[in-house]
C-alpha cells in the first residue's frame, strides 16, 4: 500500500479504464456550477497559498483517479479475504469443541459483521469519488477538488474509527 500511495501520481490518470468509465457514466454530483472565489491576494504569502490551491485543483483529481483505479482492487481483495477467513474461523470453531472455541467464535462473528459493514460506507464516499474522477475528466466543478478530497477522507476516518477498529479488535480478541 505504501508503494501505491507514493507512486500513484507518477502515472497519468487512467480515464479509459473500465472503472473510470463506470464512475463517469453515473450522474454528476453538481447541481449547479460553483461560484468563483472573490479573494484577491494582498501579500506574497497569500499569493503562494492561492497558487498552491490552484495547483491542487489539477493535481488532486489526477492523483486521486490514478490512486483509486489501482487502490480499490487491493482494498476489496483484502476485505474479502478478511471476511472469508473470519467466516472460516466461525465455521471451524464449533461450540462443541471447547468453551474457549465458542467464545472465540462470537468474537469472529462480530468481527465479520464489522468487516461487512465496511462496505456500507461505499455510498457515502461515492459522491466525492464521482466528483474527483469527473474533475480529472474535465467536468464542471472547478475549484472544489480539496473539498471533495476532504469529504472522502472524512468518511474514511469515520469508517476506520468505527467498523474497522471494531473488526480488528474483535479478531485480536478472537485469536487470543
**Of 174, 176, 166, 175, residue with least CA distance to 107:** 174
28 lies in some domain: no
77 lies in some domain: yes
The region of weakest confidence among 1-5, 106-110, 118-122, 171-175 is 1-5
51 lies in some domain: yes
Domain count, the chain: 1
Confidence bin at 39 (pLDDT 50/70/90)? very low
145 lies in some domain: yes
* Higher pLDDT pick, 13 / 58: 58
**From CA 47, how far away is CA 43, in angstroms rounded?**
6
Cell numbers representing residue 89 in the block:
474461523
84 lies in some domain: yes
% of the chain at pLDDT higher than 90: 41
Q: What is the pLDDT of residues 84-129, one digit of tens each?
A: 999 998 888 776 555 666 788 889 999 999 999 999 999 999 999 9
Which residue range is the domain that position 94 belongs to?
42-175
**From CA 12, how far away is CA 17, in angstroms rounded?**
12
11 lies in some domain: no
Cβ burial, residue 98 (10 Å; 0-12/13-18/19+): exposed
Query: Which residues lie below 8 Å from residue 114, measured CB to CB, with a gap of 6+?
Result: 163, 164, 166, 167, 170
Phi, psi of 89, rounded to the nearest 5 degrees: -65, -35
The region of weakest confidence among 21-25, 44-48, 154-158 is 44-48
8 lies in some domain: no
Give the pTM: 0.69
Q: What is the pLDDT of residues 44-96, one digit of tens each?
A: 667 766 777 888 888 899 989 988 988 899 999 999 999 999 999 888 877 65
117 lies in some domain: yes
pLDDT at residue 170, as a whole number? 94
pLDDT at residue 117, as a whole number? 96
% of the chain at pLDDT higher than 70: 78
Amino acid at each position: 500500500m505504501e508503494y501505491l500511495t507514493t507512486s500513484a501520481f507518477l502515472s497519468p490518470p487512467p480515464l479509459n479504464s473500465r472503472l473510470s468509465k463506470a464512475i463517469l457514466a453515473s450522474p454528476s454530483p453538481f447541481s449547479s456550477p460553483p461560484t468563483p472565489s472573490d479573494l484577491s491576494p494582498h501579500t506574497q504569502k497569500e499569493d503562494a497559498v492561492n497558487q498552491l490551491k490552484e495547483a491542487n485543483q489539477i493535481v488532486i483529481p489526477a492523483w486521486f483517479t490514478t490512486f483509486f483505479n489501482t487502490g480499490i482492487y487491493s482494498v476489496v481483495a483484502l476485505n474479502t479475504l478478511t471476511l472469508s477467513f473470519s467466516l472460516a474461523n466461525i465455521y471451524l470453531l464449533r461450540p462443541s469443541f471447547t468453551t474457549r472455541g465458542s467464545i472465540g467464535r462470537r468474537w469472529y462473528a462480530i468481527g465479520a459483521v464489522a468487516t461487512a459493514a465496511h462496505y456500507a460506507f461505499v455510498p457515502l464516499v461515492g459522491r466525492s469519488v464521482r466528483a474527483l474522477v469527473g474533475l480529472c475528466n474535465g467536468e464542471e466543478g472547478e475549484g472544489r477538488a480539496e473539498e471533495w478530497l476532504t469529504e472522502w477522507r472524512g468518511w474514511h476516518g469515520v469508517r476506520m474509527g468505527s467498523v474497522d477498529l471494531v473488526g480488528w479488535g474483535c479478531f485480536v480478541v478472537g485469536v487470543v
